[in-house]
Amino acid sequence: MKEWLAAGERGLFIRSYVVLAGGLLVVAMLLDLGFGALQARQVRAADPWLVTTLRLMEKDLAATPADARQERSAELGRQLGLELDLLESGDISGATLGDLPSELVDDAGNVYYLWRSAALDGALRLGPFVPPSEGLLARLLPLFFYASILLIVGLWLRPLLTDLRVLTEASQKFASDYREPLDTAHRITQLRSLARNLDDMSARTSQLIQSQKEMTAALSHEMRTPLARVRFAVAVLEGEVEERLHLQLRAVSNDVQQIDDLISDMLDYARLDHPGLRMDCQSVVIEPWLRQVLGSCPPHERKVSTVRRDDLESLWMEPRLMELALSNLLANALRYARQNVRIEVARENGVCRLVVEDDGEGIPETHRASVFQAFTRLDTSRNRETGGFGLGLAIVARIATLHRGHVAAASSASLGGARMTLEWPEP
């Protein structure tokens, strides 16, 4: 059962089973009630034997003197093995009788038939007819019928759920590693057309993704070679040209550096999405790790302060990736801060936290979710003119996902600018 009914499909199986089996059971019970109601109308009062018997008795009693009819009816009942009662018209004033005998059932379940007789100025009551007792098989037959419905629905759903489980597992595997397209058509029994379409689509998607990544890597490599030559030529020209051209050469050098930084960001962003990325998480001592991150920052005039509890010595992380994340958060804060940037490191209830705040203009609440999307730049001071390409925070978001965590933007209550919080759980 566990092999074909995985946890992910259990809800679907239960819902499908309840809807199909429940619907069939309701229809079967309604049909059973309908047939029962129709059979109740076809009572034994319509049997020719019963009508003929009552007419013969009526004819016999009509030929008997009125004062001897009660005795004669008792005698006829004994001959039939039943009770035959002659009722006067006053005894049946509240009964509604038609042309056929009416069926009456007492508290014990015995059946009597009452027939109005104009010739006798009263009615005949014949009975009791003891209903036949149902055997064990007759009582179990409805249970077998309903159980067969449940069994048939379960057997019908099983191959469908097996196919869905195969497709789900294959899709999850493809989502984690696009280099291996789906190959499920030969393992599917009921949904083969869907499986073939998914296999073809995954093969096409895999080819497109790999081609795009190969092209990005190749272009990045090929672009860096001429950029290096341009940078070298600019450095040579600075020593040979007049002083008035130095400003233009520095502008060219800055543009080249921006292109090189963009290439680095694009490569980092693409590398984080590669299925072969290795996550080597470990317990990292905070103090030297923070010094290394702060030491790699470019020169700036802002004041950077760090806050952490004295008893917090280490955090569980992938040090290279988390260093890249903190560097991007710090670069983002330094880009927009006026004077102060604060880094907070904390751990609480098994959750590690990195917080970077600045005293800049902050991020509007309506844009706090979109800033973590690739190539997103706001229309305020946080735009390309400040040096950003819209990839730094997207890289942070991917690193947070790789650590099974998340990153969020908010307003800094203490500094008044933006507050970026990166959280991830410990193992």
pLDDT, average across residues 81-90: 78
Check if the beta carbon of residue 202 is closer than 8 Å to that of residue 172.
no
Q: Euclidean distance between the first and final Cα of the chain, in Å?
A: 31
Cα–Cα distance, 410 to 422 (Å, whole number): 11
Confidence of residue 132 (pLDDT cuts 50, 70, 90): low
pLDDT above 90 covers a percentage of the chain that reads: 14
Check if the beta carbon of residue 352 is closer than 8 Å to that of residue 426.
yes
Q: Would you say the CATH fold of 282-425 matches that of 181-277?
A: no
Residue 236 CB coordination number (10 Å): 10
Q: Does domain 282-425 have CATH number 3.40.50.410?
A: no
User: Which range has the worst mean pLDDT, 114-118, 194-198, 274-278?
Assistant: 274-278
Report, at the CATH architecture level, how domain 181-277 is classified: Orthogonal Bundle (1.10)
Q: Does residue 347 carry a pLDDT above 80?
A: yes
Q: Does residue 217 carry a pLDDT above 60?
A: yes
| Strands 83-88 and 122-129, bridge-based pairing | antiparallel
| Strands 83-88 and 351-358, bridge-based pairing | unpaired
Domain boundaries, the chain: 44-129, 181-277, 282-425
pLDDT digits (tens, 9 = 90+) for 40-49: 544 444 567 7
Check if the beta carbon of residue 118 is closer than 8 Å to that of residue 110.
no
Cα–Cα distance, 183 to 169 (Å, whole number): 11
Task: Quote the pTM value.
Answer: 0.54
Q: Does residue 170 carry a pLDDT above 70?
A: yes
The pLDDT assigned to 367 comes to: 86
